[in-house]
Each structure stands twice: as structure tokens, then as C-alpha cells.
Amino acid sequence: MKKFIASILLSLAISGALRAQGYVPTEENLQNRKEFAESRFGIFIHWGVYSMLGDGEWAMNTKPLTYDEYKHLAAGFYPSKFNAEEWASLFKEAGAKYITITSRHHDGFSMFDSKVTDYDIMDASPFKRDILKELSQACAKEGIKLNFYYSHLDWGRNDYFPLGTTGKNSGRPEGGDWNSYLNFMNAQLTELLTNYGPIGCIWFDGVWDKKGNSREELENTWKLVEQYKLIHSIQPGCMVGNNHHLPVFDGEDMQMFEKDLPGKNTSGFSGDSQVSDSLPLETCETMNHNWGYKPTDHDYKSVETLIRYLVRAASNNANLLLNIGPRPDGTIPDEAVERLREMGKWLDKNGETVYATKGGCVPEQAWGVTTQKDNTLYVHVFEHSDAILVPIKGNKLVSAVAFDNGEKVPFTQVSEGIVLSLPAAAEGTIDQIITLRFKNNL
């Protein structure tokens, strides 16, 4: 009997271990990961019926409103000025290579034509235009990849039970069929992966609602392995990412960090994450202080801060997913448009030093950061001085030139590395870039 139990335990352990490491990405998926990592800049879009309340995407929870009070907003959601082509052309002008839009946020409203709920743009709002379809077509025309944010958490549905730690005042019943909720999500994911062309990534958010759950409990509660398998079975190339703020789970293809660069935890979301050394990385950040629309939040980051953050992300091997919160009428706030255009102008000139680069082998210095490609190190100087030390040794420096005009930059090789005598930088220079070419690849 003991032997029998032991063998059952052993086979359970083996099947657990196999399951834990069972996912093998396809070639197509690996290619998509590579292209994603090379793209370095994406636009995050938090948009939904909550934009009408002008208080961010958590408005239902923070006001608080019950779901019954909140849900009627949808009947007034008519973004009369929404023009997917204008959006896509702005994103292209900004130099972004992909967008990640909220297909459904925690309030549960689906911004697409979903046959498995009436709480969507076709049935609950008078707009009756499939926003995601229009965006998928417009982005395809501009060569911009399309990713979908998808909330695991739902503040409205009765089958979201057991309840989690948020949305407690939404009036959901103390009972509900969790399996029905899982089936609903998988049916929606199937729609998203079937009706909108190739999807770059499903960007999950919200499993953290079930606080206190162990990794295994999270995996079991949300049936992540099965869900990820479903996604990969419909579109093997589609990446799965999950903003669970934990080390990656088997079946995930990228790792994101919220409001922090990989390895940092200034915002408190990444304390338990460990930076993956094999998956592409992404940092998401707001342009002002909110993800969803808040008209009174004019505290936008400067163009300088945003560009430097993009470069810093690249120097950490990460993309920047920069958020905008469109207005309820479908337009993008002027402050955001201006900044996107300026970033585009900068990327137009300097994109070579960011796109398809890796984090430089020289870690962040007091003067700035580095990115690299083959035998080239791009030195990004944020704090100008007459001379800087680039602590890199053991590779012969062939040339050093200013990236903007190709003029030679005098250098000396010393035992600690390379000393560059920097040319003067014009007032307001955001990033003085020096290109160093070495004999051997870095």
C-alpha cells in the first residue's frame, strides 16, 4: 500500500514538474519575441467607458459605484471623434512599433464585438463600431503590431467568485460559478485571437486580485497553463505576458514591469519579481499620473524625461510601453499628442541607437547609459562634462564619433577604460550620443 501511495506521489510530482516546464515556444513565437525585443517602443492605451467619469480606469472602484450604477455609462459611450487611422498614423509618427490596448479592463466592459457578453461596444453602447477591429485594420496599414491588454479581474460579473481584494463595493453576489467565469474568459480570448488578425501579445492583468495566494494556487485558480495553451494553440506566435508582479510562469513569452525598470522597485509593484534572463522585457509607464483619462491631471512628464526613460529602458534590455488615456470622444489629449510627436522627431534622428539594440555592456554611469549592437557601443550622455570615462576594457577601440554629425571625438585608452573628450553640447540637448566602434563584437 505504502509503495502504491509513494508511486502515486512520485507520478504526481513528475507530472507537476513536467507541467511546470512543459511549454516549448514555436519558431514563429521566438521570431515574434525577437521582433518585439527589437521594437523598443510601444503605446499603451487605457480606454473604456470609465473615460466618461474622468477619474482614471479604477473610477468604479474608487468612487465607489456599484456595478448596477456604473454599467449605465455604457449607454452614453459614443466616441464620436474616434478615428483609428488618425491614431495609427500618430503612433507611427511617434516611432512606436506596437500598441497594447485595453480590450477589457477590470470594469468588465469589452471594447470589441464579443458574442459571449452583452456588456460590449456593440450591444451596450450606441456606438456599435468594433473599436478593436478598426484599430487592427489601421495598425496593419501602418505596420504597427497589435497587442491586447486583457483583465483577469472583473468587477461586474456574478460568476467572478470567490471575490478578490478589489471591487468590494460593486455589489456582486457572495456566490458564483468560477468555472463559468474561466470559460467566459477563454471564449473571449478565442474571439480576440480569431477576429483581429495576428496579435503580438495578450497582456494579462489582475490575477493579483486574489492576494495571498501562492504561485501554485494562482496557477490553479486561474488555470494559467490551460489558458496559455489555448492562446498558443490559436496563434502560436502570440506572446503571453502577465502583469502578476511575480517571477514568470511557464508558458509566458515576455515579462513586464509596471512603473519601474527591470530590477528596480520604486513603485512597489516589482518587489517579488525576478528579472528573466531569457525573455524579452518591457516597462510600462504613464505619461502623466493616470492610466485612464483624467482631464485635471496636467502633470505630464517632459519630453526630455520620456526620451531619457526610453533610452534607459533600452539600456536595460527593455521596451518602453508608454501610456495614453484617450478622452471619451475618442481624441487623444493634446499634451500626449505633443509629446508623442516630439519623441517621434527624436527617434527619427536617433532611432538607430535604440531600436534593435541591447543594453550596453557598460552599466549606468553618473553621466548616462549605453546601448549596443554588434561591435558598436552607443554612449548616451545625459549629464554633460568635458570628459567622461567609459569603463570598458579588453577590446580595441577603432573609432569614436559624435552620432549627430560624425565628427571625431578625441579619446585615450587608460587602464580603467576609455576617456572621451566630449564636444560642447547645445543648450537643452536631451541625449548627447557618441558612437564607439570596437575591433571585436561586444
DSSP string, 368-427: EEEEEETTEEEEEESS--SEEEE---SS-EEEEEETTT--B--EEEETTEEEEEPPP--T
Number of residues forming the site for ligand FHN (CB under 6 A): 8
Residue 252 sits in the site that holds ligand FHN (CB under 6 A):
no
Residue placing its CB nearer to ligand FHN in the complex, 58 or 119: 58
Which ranges in 199-269 belong to alpha helices (H)?
215-222, 224-234
What Å distances lie between residue 190 and 2, 155, 232, CA to CA? 45, 21, 11
Residue placing its CB nearer to ligand FHN in the complex, 57 or 154: 57
Residue placing its CB nearer to ligand FHN in the complex, 258 or 431: 258
> What is the smallest separation between the CB atom of 407 and ligand FHN, expressed in angstroms?
42
Residue 203 sits in the site that holds ligand FHN (CB under 6 A):
no
> What is the smallest separation between the CB atom of 259 and ligand FHN, expressed in angstroms?
7
Candidate residues 57, 130, 282, 431; the one interacting with ligand FHN per rule CB under 6 A: 57
Question: What is the C-alpha to C-alpha distance for residues 333 and 187, in angstroms, rounded to an integer?
Answer: 34
The verdict on whether omega for the bond into residue 280 sits within 30 degrees of 0, i.e. cis, is no
Residue 58 sits in the site that holds ligand FHN (CB under 6 A):
yes
Residue 258 sits in the site that holds ligand FHN (CB under 6 A):
yes
Residue placing its CB nearer to ligand FHN in the complex, 205 or 431: 205
Candidate residues 130, 191, 205, 285; the one interacting with ligand FHN per rule CB under 6 A: 205
Instruction: Spell out where 191-289 has E strands.
Output: 201-205, 239-242, 255-258, 281-286
> What is the smallest separation between the CB atom of 291 and ligand FHN, expressed in angstroms?
5
> What is the smallest separation between the CB atom of 297 and ligand FHN, expressed in angstroms?
14
Give, as ranges, the residues between 310 and 339 that touch ligand FHN (CB under 6 A).
none
Give, as ranges, the residues between 266 and 305 that touch ligand FHN (CB under 6 A).
269, 284, 291
> What is the smallest separation between the CB atom of 294 and ligand FHN, expressed in angstroms?
12
Question: What is the C-alpha to C-alpha distance for residues 393 and 412, in angstroms, rounded to an integer?
Answer: 12
Question: What is the C-alpha to C-alpha distance for residues 101 and 179, in angstroms, rounded to an integer?
Answer: 26
Residue placing its CB nearer to ligand FHN in the complex, 64 or 423: 64
Residue placing its CB nearer to ligand FHN in the complex, 89 or 265: 265
Residue placing its CB nearer to ligand FHN in the complex, 130 or 205: 205
C-alpha cell at 146: 497589435
Whose CB is nearest to ligand FHN?
258
Give, as ranges, the residues between 15 and 44 that touch ligand FHN (CB under 6 A).
none
Residue 342, helix vs strand vs coil:
helix
Residue 243 sits in the site that holds ligand FHN (CB under 6 A):
yes
**Contact present, 323 and 45 (Cβ < 8 Å):** yes
**Contact present, 130 and 120 (Cβ < 8 Å):** no
Kind and range of the H or E run holding 181: helix 178-194
Nearest by Cα to 90 from 329, 342, 351: 342
Interacting residues toward ligand FHN by CB under 6 A: 57-58, 205, 243, 258, 269, 284, 291
